Chains A and B, each alone.
Chain A
Amino acid sequence: MSLLDDALLDDALLDDAMMPGAAAFLAEKPAATVDRAATDAGARISTASQNAAQTTAQAAPERDAQYNYAYLDEQTKRMIRRAVLKAVAVPGYQVPFAGREMPMPYGWGTGGIQLSASILGPDDVFKVIDQGADDTTNAVSIRKFFVRTTGVRTTESTAEASVIQTRHRIPETPLTEDQIMVYQVPIPEPLRWMEPRESETRTMHALEEYGVMHVRLYEDIARHGRIATNFMYPVLVNGRYVMSPSPIPKFDNPKLDRSPALHLFGAGREKRIYAVPPYTEVRSLDFEDHPFEVEKWDECCGLCGATDSYLDEVILDDAGGRMFVCSDTDHCAARRAAGHVGPMAARRDLKELADRTAAE
């Protein structure tokens, strides 16, 4: 829990005009980093009005000085950071926060966007994925928004990023202590499908009354011979709170367990923030005789030949022709750059697909 200690020790940080970058948030010795980042940030703010062209980070794009850094006002960012600290302190607990209306619609990732807006600093390198891909339309739109409002440097490489905002996937490349994952969450409440009332579900969490969740999984087995929940698969965090990992496929659930990275979950419409701190136990719910399993494919990635990544199905024609490709485009491109070749990589009619994913 070194992160929490750092964050709390660093309480003064909340009174700064600016939050230092997420990198500083995670740093071993935060003081020095914080000071530098805060100074950079301060300089950034004071010069922004006089000289919009001036930026502090080398090679970083210009930011739009008409808006506050990262769009939200400083009070709002501070409020969100407080919620983040609470969420980190109580892993898996859904912290209510006064979510704001963002210039993107609810359902487009406003929770994740508010989290990113509150933690991104000038030193960060930002990656945005949707369905595992960097060039899906909404990922492009969110990345553009932050480039415009923060001037943050962006990347498509998982390894280079310090903050990764995602919808529906966790990258295949293992995460590190220096990274923060930001999840866009539509329905934060894992018990919602059994109990529609928030007042009830909050009580159930308080009392650790999770029997209903196991009953549901049991009913799946009784009816279908297997657990038929494939995404948003419930997990038990730190042995205490049942949590929805957001609509990632259950394939990605094991990546959360004792992950070195900090995982932040934001639900804008439902106004909840929750977190899985680094190295926290995250157990997918199951039964002794029906252990948790992830999806398997008979095929490999048609482009890079990977057999251990999550695959998307691509329909090739209207006669049943299909192929499978890595959902994580960065992972796929990196493998192909390293010389891995899938069975369909040479097909001319798929050149556009291969080029597009390679370009990332």
Chain B
Amino acid sequence: MVTALEVAVRIGLLPQAWFPPPSRIVPAFVELAVGGELFAPVGQTLQGWVLGVLAATVVAVPLGVVIGSLPLAHRLTRFMLEFLRPIPPVALIPAAVLIFGSGLDMKVFLIAFGAFWPVLLQTVYGVHDVDPTARDAARCYGLGARAVLVRITVPSALPYLATGLRIASAIALILAVTSEIVVGVPGIGVRITDAQAAGGAEDVMYAWILAAGLLGWALNAVLHAVERRVLHWHPSYRGGSR
């Protein structure tokens, strides 16, 4: 694909003014990395991602466990959640800027809002889906309500939570870069708009886009590795160790 892109640009299929060939983007990227310029913005974007996903998880998981295990809580919250969930997080940007200013707080709020829903819903599904036989077995063997929650419900909901986190991770990166591009919160997004505005620095702009892509790929790889370790017992990860 890289070769095809290179050829397409070289033969003029794509205008070179807007589409620098990969042979210019990659050196621009290497230059950012070697010069050390790459790391501060990537760190800022990553910081927003980490804080936002963390905040979402800390609130959504306990709430999801409560909603998933108490039918009354499910009924009480359903209307409110169904109303809030369809709000596109980016629609909250103006309000978020008013409330939190245009710094890290605003970025973290936006990410947390977007990441909250998949984590919450997956936790609710996971808790709902606990095998009744496993729960009965635990109760027969003298486990009380709290012990059943800790020993049975939470572990069986973990695979669902992992899926929720992966969806949340992708949404969080989108919202991080969006808040940087739209509001100007420091991070990769700002560098992309700066390079675009500079004129003649399209290769640098694409180098930053490449950085955003690589960050997303790396985050997914890390989550996948953690999942593989924690959920080694789950059918989707069982090795051929029979």
Do A and B pair up? The answer is no
Measured CB to CB, the residues of A under 8 A from B are none
Measured CB to CB, the residues of B under 8 A from A are none
